[in-house]
């Protein structure tokens, strides 16, 4: 069994490698999500000496997931719901869109069906007032925040000459500013928790040219997300336990 020390907060910029999905970054995100989710789980379980399969880690925990209306955010929501978590689904999609699967309300219904408690809050994470509304509604319904998953992202894989500046702004506003603003809004409540986490869906900071070629602006925005995690780790050093991946 792996044993980790756990501090007040555990910010974990994750650095995992080994691609099997051919994505632009060097790992499979689905593997990554399972792995990081599993590590958070293992950390808690090892602390109390129970095997991971015995006690559901997310039971009773309140988890805010941005971009929870589809894709990876939805998968995370349903996995946590299976353990009996309180899941806050945060995304822009409140009304069904024929071109995209899921809404915050359809995922909330799935969360309840899977055994969790759900709260769906429409929010564009570029909007500070809407972020405040997410926090207020979460505290009102669940009384605290244990985990923030910064998952929402915009993507446009175009090279510099072919990228409209509106798209540049969109990616940086959602991926970097939105991640920063959501984290900033949640920190005061996370700090009150027993084992709080922030998980950013962003890659390791590799400066090798091939991670930039063809999509400089997108890579800059995802690296910005990673730097939010690194920066918060440094800022909160006296209050956090920093763990290296074994
Ligand atoms: N799918 C992959 O293979 C892959 C690969 C590398 C990285 N990722 C990362 O994983 C994360 C999730 O990817 P996905 O493929 O599930 O994404 P997706 O496009 O399927 O879903 C994105 C979600 O973000 C939400 N969103 C977008 N803009 C928003 C805004 N302004 N405010 C609030 N919510 C907003 C959408 O409503 C949606 O719920 C992203 O950070 C992405 O960069 C995914």
Query: Given a cut of 60, is residue 96 above it in pLDDT?
Result: yes
Higher pLDDT, 101 or 26: 101
Which domains, and CATH codes, for the chain? 58-236 (3.40.50.720)
* pLDDT at position 196: 82
The pLDDT of 71-99, averaged and rounded, is 95
> Residue whose CA is closest, atom 17 of ligand 1?
71
* pLDDT at position 53: 47
* pLDDT at position 235: 82
> Residue whose CA is closest, atom 14 of ligand 1?
71
Lining ligand 1 with CB less than 6 A are 21, 23, 25, 29, 66-67, 69-73, 91-93, 123-126, 151-154, 174, 201
Q: How far apart are CA 211 and CA 56, in angstroms?
A: 37
Model confidence band, residue 237 (pLDDT cutoffs 50, 70, 90): low
Beta strands 197-200 and 147-150: pairing type? parallel
Ligand 1 atom at shortest distance from the alpha carbon of 150: 41
- Cβ contact 73:66 at 8 Å: yes
Task: Give the predicted TM-score (pTM) of the model.
Answer: 0.84
Q: Cα(40) to centroid of ligand 1, in Å? A: 21
The pLDDT of 151-162, averaged and rounded, is 97
Q: How far apart are CA 214 and CA 37, in angstroms?
A: 31
What is the helix (H) or strand (E) element at residue 88, kind and residue range? strand 86-91
124-138 pLDDT, tens digit each: 999 999 999 999 999
Query: Given a cut of 70, is residue 71 above it in pLDDT?
Result: yes
Q: What are phi and psi of 190, to 5 degrees?
A: -60, -40
Model confidence band, residue 26 (pLDDT cutoffs 50, 70, 90): very low
> Residue whose CA is closest, atom 38 of ligand 1?
67
Q: What percent of the chain has pLDDT over 90?
A: 62
Give the Å distances, CA to CA, from 106 to 109, 128, 155, 199, 240: 5, 25, 24, 23, 36
192-235 pLDDT, tens digit each: 988 888 888 998 899 999 999 999 999 999 999 999 988 888 88
Which of these, 219, 135, 234, lies nearest to 171 by C-alpha position?
Answer: 219
What is the helix (H) or strand (E) element at residue 178, kind and residue range? none
* The CA-based dihedral angle spanning residues 55, 61, 67, 70, taken in that order and rounded to the nearest 10 degrees: 40
Ligand 1 atom at shortest distance from the alpha carbon of 71: 16
Query: Given a cut of 70, is residue 12 above it in pLDDT?
Result: no
* pLDDT at position 40: 55
């Amino acid at each position: 069994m792996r044993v980790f020390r756990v501090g007040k907060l555990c910010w974990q910029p994750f650095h995992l490698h080994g691609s099997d999905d051919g994505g632009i970054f060097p790992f499979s995100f689905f593997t990554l999500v399972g792995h990081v989710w599993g590590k958070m789980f293992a950390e808690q379980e090892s602390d109390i000496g129970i095997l991971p399969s015995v006690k559901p880690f997310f039971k009773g925990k309140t988890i805010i997931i941005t971009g929870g209306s589809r894709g990876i955010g939805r998968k995370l929501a349903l996995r946590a719901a299976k353990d009996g978590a309180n899941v806050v689904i945060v995304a822009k999609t409140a009304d069904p869109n024929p071109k995209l699967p899921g809404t915050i309300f359809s995922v909330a219904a799935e969360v309840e069906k899977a055994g969790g408690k759900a709260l769906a809050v429409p929010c564009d994470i570029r909007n500070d007032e809407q972020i405040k509304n997410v926090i207020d509604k979460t505290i009102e319904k669940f009384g605290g925040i244990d985990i923030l998953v910064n998952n929402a992202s915009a993507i446009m894989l175009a090279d510099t000459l072919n990228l409209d500046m509106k798209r540049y702004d969109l990616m940086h506003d959602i991926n970097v500013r939105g991640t920063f603003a959501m984290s900033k809004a949640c920190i005061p409540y996370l700090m009150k928790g027993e084992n709080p986490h922030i998980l950013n869906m962003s890659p390791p900071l590799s400066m090798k040219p091939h991670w930039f070629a063809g999509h400089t602006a997108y890579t800059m925005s995802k690296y910005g997300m990673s730097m939010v995690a690194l920066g918060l780790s440094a800022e909160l050093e006296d209050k956090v336990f920093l763990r290296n991946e074994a």
